[in-house]
Amino acid sequence: MAEKKYVYAFEEAHGLGKELLGGKGAGLAEMTSIGVPVPEGFTITTEACTLYYESGKAIPEFVQKQIFDAIKGIEKKTGKAFGGDKKPLLVSVRSGARVSMPGMMDTILNLGLNDVTCAALARETNNERFALDSYRRFILMFTNIAKGHPRDAMDKMLDELKEKNGYKLDTEVTTEQLRDLVARYKEYYKKTFGEDFPSDPKVQLMEAVAAVFRSWDNPRANIYRMQYSIPYSWGTAVNVQSMAFGNKGETSGTGVAFSRNAATGEKAISAEYLPNAQGEDVVAGIRTPLHIDELKRRMPYVYAQFEKTIKTMELHYRDMQDMEFTVEEGKLYFLQTRSGKRTPAAALKMACDMVDEGLITEDEAVLRIDPVSFDKLLLPNFDKDELAAAKNRLIAKGNPAGPGAGTGKIAFTAEEAEKRNAAGEKVVLVRAETSPEDLAGMIACQGILTMRGGMTSHAAVVARGMGKCCITGCAAALIDEEKRTLTIDGKVYTDQDVLSLDGSTGSVYVGDIKKVAPDLSSGNFGRLMAWVDERRDLKVRANADTPRDAHQAKVFGAQGIGLCRTEHMFFDKDKIFSFRKMILAETKEERVAALAEIEPLQQKDFEGLFEEMGELSVNVRLLDPPLHEFLPQEEDKIAELAKATGHTVEFINKRIADLHEFNPMMGHRGCRLDVSYPEIAVMQTNAIIKAALAVSKRKGIKIEPEIMIPLTLELRELKFVKAIVTETADKLIKEAGVNMKYHVGTMIEIPRAALLSDELAKEAEFFSFGTNDLTQLTFGFSRDDASKFLPDYYKNKILEEDPFKTLDQAGVGQLIKFSVKNGRATRPNLHIGVCGETGGEPNSIQFYHDAGLDYVSCSPFRVPVARLAAAQAAIRSPRKK
Amino acid sequence: MAEKKYVYAFEEAHGLGKELLGGKGAGLAEMTSIGVPVPEGFTITTEACTLYYESGKAIPEFVQKQIFDAIKGIEKKTGKAFGGDKKPLLVSVRSGARVSMPGMMDTILNLGLNDVTCAALARETNNERFALDSYRRFILMFTNIAKGHPRDAMDKMLDELKEKNGYKLDTEVTTEQLRDLVARYKEYYKKTFGEDFPSDPKVQLMEAVAAVFRSWDNPRANIYRMQYSIPYSWGTAVNVQSMAFGNKGETSGTGVAFSRNAATGEKAISAEYLPNAQGEDVVAGIRTPLHIDELKRRMPYVYAQFEKTIKTMELHYRDMQDMEFTVEEGKLYFLQTRSGKRTPAAALKMACDMVDEGLITEDEAVLRIDPVSFDKLLLPNFDKDELAAAKNRLIAKGNPAGPGAGTGKIAFTAEEAEKRNAAGEKVVLVRAETSPEDLAGMIACQGILTMRGGMTSHAAVVARGMGKCCITGCAAALIDEEKRTLTIDGKVYTDQDVLSLDGSTGSVYVGDIKKVAPDLSSGNFGRLMAWVDERRDLKVRANADTPRDAHQAKVFGAQGIGLCRTEHMFFDKDKIFSFRKMILAETKEERVAALAEIEPLQQKDFEGLFEEMGELSVNVRLLDPPLHEFLPQEEDKIAELAKATGHTVEFINKRIADLHEFNPMMGHRGCRLDVSYPEIAVMQTNAIIKAALAVSKRKGIKIEPEIMIPLTLELRELKFVKAIVTETADKLIKEAGVNMKYHVGTMIEIPRAALLSDELAKEAEFFSFGTNDLTQLTFGFSRDDASKFLPDYYKNKILEEDPFKTLDQAGVGQLIKFSVKNGRATRPNLHIGVCGETGGEPNSIQFYHDAGLDYVSCSPFRVPVARLAAAQAAIRSPRKK
């Protein structure tokens, strides 16, 4: 029986796909296939990673054998020898997941070095300093990454050495000093682990591969996956590649290149180059790289090849590429390429440009925009005039690494940023440089400012991925972490000072600057949204309770209101008193009288909505929460209410006690209130219909209000409440002598309703899935309480996503599909939407598209995102027309 | 197009079924077909009732026409004329639902009488007194029933007349006085309704038919349906039948007969006869009927025909018959027959006797026992010795109308009985006679004692149906409702006096008498249960948490424990302190230490269960409720706990506040606790497995404990907790060096678990449906809160049954079927049971049988009921073997 293949040389891997090879591995295979100069190497598949975990964190013997065979392959092609005392083969070991997870996964370079190979390398390159420096770096990385030991102590050895000798740069360290350092590193290793540093390259290799596999499960990787909804089950591949050395002297160097500008989208290579260095120096932000012109200046012939290869790759991949390259003694190697992360603004510009260039289709352009960060385009930018006026407050400049505007007080650590943000404070994160450990703080802040690092440093790459404003390499910013101060031009700023960061220009201002909303209808944004709207099947509505929200929704392109929650209206100062009287009423007559006071006010609310929305649909949900939510809790408020209503305090306390519920989420709420107190539904219907009649007459337009009955679970219940609504509405319409239509439907938010959708569709003209409650009941999760145990569920990988944010397709989704199918079986033209929180989440929207819904409804701000996601869904899986 | 037929003459209706004709109508058609003497008539179908409600409570013209055509048919067959001045046709109008609802539905007699027909009847029968008496009764019934007006005022007119003249019996009233009474009744009618009493028989008939239809919806009918789970949608049929007159003098009379004794089951006709009276006098308990020997004595030839016809009918129907008959001037008519209500004890004896007689099969015998009242047989009876010793406390005797033993303080009205019972007091209901309005009080009391009425009075029939102890016709009991006293032999008893009623002998004792449990293994009971156990597919287990419960369950025939709730064990005085320490622990070490204190105690609990159950299955559910349920609420208890644990009061209050949940039902409970605190599952598994190992060794028996993981919703969650359990268990078993099996499975009580059963079955060896929580979540009903709105749901007929008692087949049942199907698709030998409250409810058990479950588990006391219901289900729908 042929053994399963877990290891592929780059030249035999082309076409096997990212799932198996990871993004980096697939890229290397593809680059090899189109003739890009790539160092020889092979990929260990993601299946090997899964196998590693299934084997109890061990690499099975037969996989090890395949790996060593592949090493032999490299030896053959390069004529080098792994562990050899002549022409020693050194390799890099890199992680490579299906999608790029920058900074999350660990890499080991120069693997294969030991005393023998180091000497050989020194001999053969005639550069002992380089050999020793590589050896030193390797021991450090191996200790830190493969063995999981902190690097501080070893870093300190180098720092102290430099300080003692007055060196500024690593390159100033002498060969002798490096030899000594290698010895001290090895000594430290032995002291720490109780064994010699492994000199066998095969042992080194297996430990490194296992370390990459383990790094898939480190806390930072888990945070990143959570943030970006990447399944744990994917695993990572490992790429082993013969080393290319950027640190072999002045004709060597390393760099990172984007085929277009990742921050702005501009069509121009954007690259950085650092002579005589390894790539890690750049990514870690330890040294600030130079502009690519440096390469052009030093080695124009290399630059020409560089430029040509990049163009080839962009044409081949039909997308902006993010590449790492190394020049080893005048020979150019590309180490990896991938579709580059970009700011939302850059993504938009590139997509439009590439359509114009004929590189991609409009469909592809729409698919190129990441809906998750798309709403960043909707964020305000600094007002241009205010920005000009703030010129005198400009205190520093850095690299414009992530566009956007961010204002906040200074936070000096990620933890601090996280805490102060949680406490409601807006902060900007100010760091010498960022590292993967800072991720949570980067998510929590308004913007990032670093002293070190270029356009491709950790901070820059991560911030752009998040669509977060970021300025890197701001050398003027002197940070003292201990004293918690930032000093610029001698002036000292503390954690109480406010900075405004303009990520588009790299300008740092002191104090706040006014921001303005972006223009959404013209330019590339308008162009993209036109393509989007042409393509999508799902309509997009907004959840809006006030004319202000409704207006915002229209600005963002909402095609109606999918959910108006009337309960918010009752908390108005002018209504809450009457509403409380209604709750305290002891007879139906008292209740009706109190409701009569509210009706004209509520009618006014609805008139505002209808005025704003014109002929667009407005879906009003009848009162939903339990009545006790409307009564005061504090003693003084109760006393006040008693006085105002003429009830005794005892009476009100008794009523509050009567209304107490053990599980209010599953209590006397929704249409259950209308079953007990039909007069509430009568009042609300009166207000809705009267408002629609008035506005329709006033503006001479056609309004067809939708009235939605919440929390239904049974046909007879729906019939009962619907009868109240239609009786009330029909009478008003008849009295008005006009021909106004209206629609009565129901929320589907209780599992039983989903299960009995065939029945409910007999009476309901429309369904709207309330995924918040449907998720609560399908999971048996109280949303208010789940935060206590959900962290344990994430930690133990039982759940990977918050089901209240992203629809749980396996469970809740099954109910939704069932409901759509059975509802439409009864009533083929049943109008179906969703108004829960997941209605604005891109993955969920794909599901709703596939499930055949008519619309999604989300918060106004999410409307453009939902439009884009709906178009992408339609492109990915066209509906049968 | 042929018009749909809504009206059938008895002779053309045979075979159309109860659904269409109602029980009474089907019976009359069938009696007619086998030659029983039945007065001519026809049935208006249940479909006409539905049509009546659908037509907005109106009888459509075409139905009216069919009714009048049927009247013409009677006229033709009898030679009488409806409204005729010669040979006037008088009819009865009776309700007849699909199942008998005694006293719930209304009946009108003598319809067709007016001044003209009354005179003709008087003339033709040469009995003016009889004609006027019939006329008087008719006006009274029409006013009371068709028009819904109370009968008090008209009753009072007769009572006053009798009092004034010193009459004791109605029969003493003279013709003249009756004529005057008729005039005064008509006058009262006119005064009350503002119109003349309707003289047109056709108008009378339509009003009467409509009244029967309306009576389907009266409050008493609704209460009865709720009690007996009869769907509202069924509707009632109406039977119109030419009158037979039992009040035509001394050769006339009326009676009720059972073909066997309905109280004891004895094989002997049990009947009562009242000369010169209409049937209503008997049923209403107004006059106490005589023994059937009275008929034999007066008219032996009629009695012979009576006896023979009854035997014919019992043989034909192959069941005990409950019949109404009338003798009109020496001619015998049977007015209706139906399968007779019987006490559980009588049902048991009859079923066994009929098998011995070859009348029915064993299958039929099993089906004859009503599982709903079957548990009455398990109720204690008076201890025979104690009863003998109480001879001196015997204060009165009445008819043994409903067997059983009942002790309680005297309640004089149904409302009082209901209230005092709700307040926790045990009462016996003592009434002059009962009426349908008393139903709720009859349900609430321990036994019923009435002064008037025979074995077939309202109290007797209803009490037997409920399996409630009842003594009727206790003439010595003089009741003063106003003074609220009962006087027997001059001694006065008040609502504080305790009576003991022996319904099997009709004896009334003062004070309490000790009761003993019945013998379940021998006699007819043992015989029936043997048939039952041979037939059923479902095993029956019990929910039991203590050795005492487990013992009781075994006595009742449980085949194992289907649910042991471990949480009850923690409330023990010796465990609660350690458990609270565990909850207050700030580190895992502290938690583990506290749990270690509990483990040996919990092990002892399980040993007790295993000792009791031997080799029968015992299913232990891991801890289920949220932790806050275990902490004290009262200030002094908190202070005590603080002192004992060395924590501050503030600390404990903080912990209580931290643990507070908004919706605890959907909070941090079930296996979510084990995800957060795996050490709890470890401790519980230790206790279970150690106990099983110890008992298994001690008794030399094979024990295979079942460990059940509650509240699962996701495969990875089940895997996580199962891994804790198996790791712990396997280690112990290995250490013990024995070969003990155990099984790990899960509750299915969250909708998502039901939806993902195919997944869960990968890890679960068994499923157990927790219908309590599954119903809560499927409905979105908090069981603790639903009582606030469920009455409105019943009142408005949105729900007809409590879904926590009887499984909601439409919603929850759908999930269960889906889960069974998908679970078994993954694991064909998946063992499936149910342990929610519905596991002991007969209708639900039929569903579980049909759904293919392996067992039901219920409270120990319900085990025999469940065994019976399971056998009935198996007989009704045999499983494919």
Could you tell me if A560 and A539 are in contact, meaning their C-beta atoms sit under 8 angstroms apart? yes
pLDDT tens, position by position, B286-306: 667 888 999 999 999 999 999
Highest mean pLDDT among B20-29, B155-164, B401-410, B707-716: B707-716
Is this complex scored with an ipTM above 0.85?
A: no
Interface test with A, best of B713, B748, B807 (most A CBs within 10 A): B713
- Is the pLDDT score of B413 beyond 60? yes
Mean pLDDT of A775-788: 92
Listing DSSP states for B4-28 in one string gives: PP-EEEHHHHTTS-HHHHHHHHHHH
pLDDT tens, residue by residue, B742-773: 999 999 999 999 999 999 999 999 999 999 99
In the structure encoding, which two tokens stand for residue B477, read together? 């009991």
The active-site residue out of A831, A835, A849, A858 is: A835
Instruction: Say if residue A200 is exposed, middle or buried (CB neighbours under 10 Å; 0-12, 13-18, 19+).
Output: exposed
Q: Give the whole-angstrom CA distance, residue B388 versus residue B501.
A: 14
Neighbour-count burial for B265-284, b at 16+ CB within 10 Å, e otherwise: bebebbbbbbbbbbbebbbe
Sign, Cα dihedral of B672, B677, B682, B683: negative
Q: Give the whole-number percent of chain A exceeding pLDDT 70.
A: 98
Looking at per-residue pLDDT, the higher value among A536 and A338 belongs to A536
Q: What is the pLDDT of residues B824-844, one digit of tens each?
A: 999 999 999 999 889 999 999
- Inter-chain CB pairs, A–B, below 8 Å: 172
Q: What is the C-alpha separation between A337 and A354, in angstroms, rounded?
A: 19
Angstrom distances, CA of residue A720 to CA of A763, A866, B57, B642: 10, 35, 18, 53
Give the pLDDT confidence score for residue A875 in this predicted structure: 97
pLDDT in the model for residue A464: 74
**Chain B residues whose beta carbon lies within 8 Å of the beta carbon of residue A788:** 661, 667-668
pLDDT at B281: 65
Mean pLDDT, all residues of chain B: 91
Give the Å distances, CA to CA, from B656 to A256, B443, B854: 56, 42, 42
Segment B83-100 shows an average pLDDT of 90
Q: What is the pLDDT of residue A653?
A: 92
B662: pLDDT strictly greater than 70: yes
Give the least confident one: A128-132, A280-284, A332-336, B54-58: A280-284
Q: What's the pLDDT score for residue A752?
A: 98
pLDDT band for position A281 (50/70/90)? Answer: low
Question: What pLDDT score does B8 carry?
Answer: 96
Give the CA diameter of chain A.
Answer: 102
Higher local confidence (pLDDT), B95 or A384: B95
Higher pLDDT, A355 or A172: A355
Annotation marks residue A469 as catalytic: no
**Would you place residue A1 in the very low, low, confident or very high pLDDT band (cuts 50, 70, 90)?**
very low
Q: Per-residue pLDDT for B347 more than 70?
A: yes
A175 or A1, greater pLDDT: A175
Question: What confidence tens digit (pLDDT) does each residue in B479-498 have?
Answer: 988 899 999 999 999 999 99
Can you tell me the mean pLDDT for B679-700?
Answer: 97
User: Quick one: pLDDT band at residue B803, thresholds 50, 70, 90?
Assistant: very high
**Residue A388: predicted pLDDT:** 87
Whether A810 sits inside 8 A of B661 (CB atoms) is no
Q: Kindly report the backbone phi and psi dihedral angles of residue B384, in degrees, each rounded to the nearest multiple of 5, phi listed first.
A: -60, -40
Chain A residue closest in CA terms to B713: A779
Q: For testing the chain A interface, which of B792, B801, B809 should be mutated: the one with the most A CBs within 10 Å?
A: B792
Asked if residue A465 has pLDDT above 70, the reply is: no
Q: What is the structure's pLDDT at B104?
A: 52
Flag whether residue A413 sits within 8 Å of chain B, measured between CB atoms.
Answer: no
* Cα three-residue angle A690-A692-A698, rounded to 5 degrees: 100
Would you state the pLDDT for residue B286? 61
Longest dimension (CA), chain B: 102
- 3-class secondary structure for A406-439? EEEEEECCHHHHHHHHHCCCCEEEEECCCCHHHH
Among all residues of chain B, which has the CA nearest to that of A717?
A: B798
The residue among A382, A350, A346 whose CA lies nearest residue A364 is A350
Mean pLDDT calculated for residue range B93-116 = 82
More confident position, A454 or B835: B835
In terms of average pLDDT, the best of A385-394, A631-640, A708-717, B467-476 is A708-717
Residue of A663, A751, A796 lying closest to B785 (CB–CB): A663
Which residue in B has a C-alpha nearest to residue A781's C-alpha? B666
Query: Exposed, middle or buried: residue A758 (CB in 10 Å: 0-12, 13-18, 19+)?
Result: middle
Please name the member of B672, B784, B788 whose beta carbon is closest to the beta carbon of A789.
B672
| pLDDT score at A383 | 86
Residues of chain B contacting A797 with CB distance shorter than 8 Å: 716
What is the distance between the alpha carbons of residues B560 and B743, in angstroms, rounded to a whole number?
A: 14
Q: Percent of chain B at pLDDT above 70?
A: 98
Q: Please, which pLDDT band fits residue A79 given cuts at 50, 70 and 90?
A: confident
Least CA distance to A712: which residue of chain B? Answer: B779
**Does the pLDDT of residue B569 top 90, yes or no?**
no
The pLDDT assigned to B523 comes to 86
CA distances to A164, B19, B61, B99 from B22, rounded to whole Å, are 108, 6, 22, 7
pLDDT band at A105 (very low <50, low <70, confident <90, very high): low
- Cβ atoms of residues B829 and B743 within 8 Å: no
Contact B390, B489 (CB under 8 A): no
d(CA A137, CA A143): 10
| Whole-number Å distance between alpha carbons of B621 and B708 | 4
If residue B130 lies in a helix (H) or strand (E), which one and from where to where? Answer: helix B128-141
In chain B, what percentage of residues exceed pLDDT 90?
Answer: 67
Q: What count of Cα atoms within 13 Å lies in the side-chain half-sphere of residue A676?
A: 19
CB atoms within 10 A of CB B192: 13
For chain B, the 3-state helix, strand and coil shares in percent, each to the nearest 5, are 50, 15, 30
φ, ψ of residue B500 to 5 degrees: the values are -115, 125
Catalytic position from the list A458, A628, A831, A849: A458
Dig out the tokens for B742 from the structure. Answer: 């155990």
Which is more confident, B136 or B787?
B136
Q: Which A residues 789-828 touch B at CB under 8 Å?
A: 789, 792-793, 796-799, 808, 810-812, 814-815
Query: CA distances (Å), B691 to each of A440, B246, B544, B564, B698, in order?
Result: 48, 74, 17, 14, 10
Is A149 among the catalytic positions? no
What's the confidence (pLDDT) of residue B102?
Answer: 59
For the stretch B135-190, pLDDT in tens is 999 999 999 888 889 888 999 999 999 999 988 877 788 999 999 999 999 999 99
pLDDT level of residue A518 (50, 70, 90 thresholds): confident
Rounded mean pLDDT, B842-848: 97
Measure CB to CB from residue A785 to each of B662, B788, B797 and give the nearest one: B662
| Rounded mean pLDDT, A562-584 | 87
Choice between B491 and A461, residue whose per-residue pLDDT is larger: B491
Is the pLDDT at A330 greater than 50, yes or no? Answer: yes
Low-confidence winner among A759-763, B46-50, B212-216, B693-697 (lowest mean pLDDT): B212-216
Interface probe, candidates A666, A674, A679, A796, chain B, greatest B C-beta count within 10 A: A666
Residues 6+ apart with CB under 8 A from B820: B757, B767, B832, B851, B852, B853
**CB-based contact A675 B780, cutoff 8 Å:** no
Q: Which residues of A touch B749 (CB under 8 A)?
A: 780
Q: Which of A29-33, A274-278, B123-127, B191-195 has the lowest mean pLDDT?
A: B123-127
Q: Is B830:B824 a contact under the CB 8 Å cutoff? A: yes
Mean pLDDT of chain A: 91
Around Cβ A15, how many Cβ atoms within 10 Å?
10
When comparing pLDDT for A66 and A263, which is higher? A66
- Please compute, for residue B181, the number of CA atoms within 13 A of its CA located in the half-sphere on the CB side: 28
More reliable by pLDDT, A637 or B849 = B849
pTM assigned to the model: 0.77
pLDDT at B1 over 60: no
